[in-house]
């Protein structure tokens, strides 16, 4: 990719609701054509950030540009370039799925014929043809989500905001939605998605920003974030719980770092710098001490652990 202007730039965004600070110096840069995942616990400020960037919410301080337009000064231009699927489906409950899509098509200034055609295409693409003429209030949660996503794709947006797009979806619907997102990105759309699912960020996002208390506390690719919280870990499971203390002492000596023990699963683990050398050394000392080992290995930390490390609490999932 060439040196294009980033699709989203937020600098020092601030937003308060009364005494609650929702955004507290929020910074973000999303290069055009990439997927940015915003990961954060409940109340971190994810929805607030998305609503500010999508021009739905005024902010108290900072600057933001989306698709090259200033969010505060030229919101109409921003609206012309974005699509938004909010945390709660923004569709008309009384109208049918088709009527919804035609309505939004007309409001996007498509001619009547084109609006109908676009509605049909989207119904087809999101598997809603059979339910097309049912009231949206009779849709299942997954169908509403898909209709909502379809509604934000009437005109292929330059930047698409997805606020927890798969919360409450079954695995199949989730995969469908992920595929749709990948297809869009293939077509050049930039996607900013918030999620509480680490797996979702891991799967879809090129880069991840971890948000807590209204600001980005860590940023990088999934691998970078994992690396940031430390090295690989060697893990040893002993057969006899009585050996656990001795095993921990030996592992600690071999890895030169304080190990953690988990008595429930008779596991000892410790961070290591050189995976192969550490593994060999741990095996040798344990054998010498005649401790029977049930399982041994070296593994990378999960994104979940990265998250826990960075924010001090676990992501809800």
Partner 1 sequence: MSALRWGIADGWTMTRRNMAHVVRAPEEIVIYFSLPIMFVLVFGYVFGSGMAVPGGGNYREYLLPGVFVMTMLYGLGATATGVAVDVSRGVVDRFRAIDMARSALLVGRSGADLLRALLEMATLVVCGLLVGWQWRHGVGDALAAVALVLLLRLALTWVGIYLGLVVPNPDTVSVIVFPVAFPLTALSNVFVAPELMPHWLGTVSAWNPLSATVAASRELFGNPGTGGDSWVAQHPLLLSIAWPAVLIAIFAPLAVRRYQRLSR
Binding site for partner 1 (CB under 8 A): 54-58, 76-77, 79-80, 82, 84, 86, 88-95, 99, 103-104, 106-109, 135, 151-152
Among 8, 9, 13, 22, binds ligand ATP (CB under 6 A): 22
Choose among ligand ATP, partner 1, Mg ion, none what residue 22 binds, the Cβ cut-off being 5 to 8 Å by kind.
ligand ATP
168 counts as binding ligand ATP under rule CB under 6 A: no
C-alpha–C-alpha distance, residues 14 and 131, integer Å: 42
- Inter-residue contact 135 to 94 (CB < 8 Å): yes
Quote the tokens at residue 132: 């097309």
Shortest approach of ligand ATP to residue 205 CB, angstroms? 16
Taking CB atoms, the residue at the shortest distance from Mg ion is 47
Characterize the bridge pairing of strands 35-39 and 190-195.
parallel
Task: Tell me which DSSP letter residue 291 carries.
Answer: P
Among 6, 32, 37, 48, binds ligand ATP (CB under 6 A): 48
Q: List residues binding Mg ion (CB under 5 A).
A: 46-47, 87
166 counts as binding ligand ATP under rule CB under 6 A: no
Characterize the bridge pairing of strands 260-262 and 69-70.
unpaired
Shortest approach of partner 1 to residue 56 CB, angstroms? 6
Shortest approach of partner 1 to residue 95 CB, angstroms? 6
Closer residue to partner 1 in complex, CB, 134/227: 134
Shortest approach of ligand ATP to residue 315 CB, angstroms? 10
- Inter-residue contact 209 to 49 (CB < 8 Å): no
Among 43, 141, 258, 263, binds ligand ATP (CB under 6 A): 43
Choose among partner 1, ligand ATP, Mg ion, none what residue 91 binds, the Cβ cut-off being 5 to 8 Å by kind.
partner 1
Closer residue to partner 1 in complex, CB, 77/217: 77
Quickly list H helices, the chain: 46-53, 75-81, 97-107, 112-125, 141-151, 171-186, 198-204, 222-228, 244-255, 275-288, 303-311
- Inter-residue contact 236 to 248 (CB < 8 Å): no
Shortest approach of ligand ATP to residue 117 CB, angstroms? 35
47 counts as binding ligand ATP under rule CB under 6 A: yes
Write out the H or E segment, with its range, that includes residue 208: strand 207-212
Among 24, 29, 34, 87, binds ligand ATP (CB under 6 A): 87
C-alpha–C-alpha distance, residues 66 and 46, integer Å: 16
Shortest approach of ligand ATP to residue 43 CB, angstroms? 4
Tell me the CA distances in angstroms from 317 to 42, 64, 162, 164, 199, one per residue in order.
11, 30, 18, 12, 10
Shortest approach of ligand ATP to residue 214 CB, angstroms? 7
Choose among ligand ATP, Mg ion, partner 1, none what residue 56 binds, the Cβ cut-off being 5 to 8 Å by kind.
partner 1
Closer residue to ligand ATP in complex, CB, 173/195: 195
Which residue shows structure tokens 């699912």? 197
86 counts as binding ligand ATP under rule CB under 6 A: no
- Return all residues near 7 (Cβ < 8 A) that are at least 6 apart: 30, 31, 32, 33, 34, 66, 67, 158, 159, 190
19 counts as binding ligand ATP under rule CB under 6 A: no
209 counts as binding ligand ATP under rule CB under 6 A: no
C-alpha–C-alpha distance, residues 98 and 74, integer Å: 31
By CB atoms closer than 10 A (0-12, 13-18, 19+), residue 157 is buried
Binding site for ligand ATP (CB under 6 A): 17, 20, 22, 40, 42-48, 87, 196
């Amino acid at each position: 990719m060439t040196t294009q202007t980033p699709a989203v730039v937020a600098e020092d965004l601030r937003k308060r609701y009364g005494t609650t600070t929702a955004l507290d110096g929020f910074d973000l840069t999303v290069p055009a054509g990439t997927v940015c995942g915003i990961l954060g616990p409940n109340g971190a400020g994810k929805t607030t950030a998305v609503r500010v960037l999508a021009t739905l919410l005024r902010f108290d301080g900072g600057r933001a540009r989306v698709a090259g337009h200033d969010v505060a000064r030229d919101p109409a231009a921003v609206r012309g370039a974005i699509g938004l699927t909010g945390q709660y489906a923004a569709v008309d409950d009384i109208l049918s799925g088709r009527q919804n899509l035609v309505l939004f098509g007309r409001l996007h200034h498509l001619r009547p014929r084109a609006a109908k055609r676009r509605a049909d295409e989207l119904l087809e693409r999101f598997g809603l043809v059979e339910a097309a003429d049912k009231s949206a209030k009779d849709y299942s949660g997954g169908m509403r989500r898909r209709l909502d996503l379809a509604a934000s794709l009437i005109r292929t947006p330059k930047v698409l905001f997805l606020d927890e797009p798969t919360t409450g979806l079954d695995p199949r619907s989730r995969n469908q939605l992920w595929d749709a997102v990948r297809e869009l990105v293939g077509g050049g759309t930039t996607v900013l998605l918030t999620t509480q699912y680490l797996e979702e960020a891991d799967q879809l996002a090129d880069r991840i920003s971890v948000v807590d208390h209204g600001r980005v506390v860590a940023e990088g690719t999934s691998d970078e974030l994992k690396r940031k919280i430390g090295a690989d870990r060697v893990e040893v499971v002993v057969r006899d719980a009585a050996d656990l203390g001795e095993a921990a002492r030996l592992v600690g000596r071999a890895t030169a770092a304080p190990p953690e023990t988990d008595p429930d699963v008779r596991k000892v683990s410790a961070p290591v710098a050189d995976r192969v050398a550490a593994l060999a050394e741990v095996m040798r000392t344990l054998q010498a001490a005649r401790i029977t080992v049930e399982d041994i290995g070296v593994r990378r930390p999960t994104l979940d652990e990265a998250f826990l490390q960075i924010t001090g609490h676990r992501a809800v999932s």
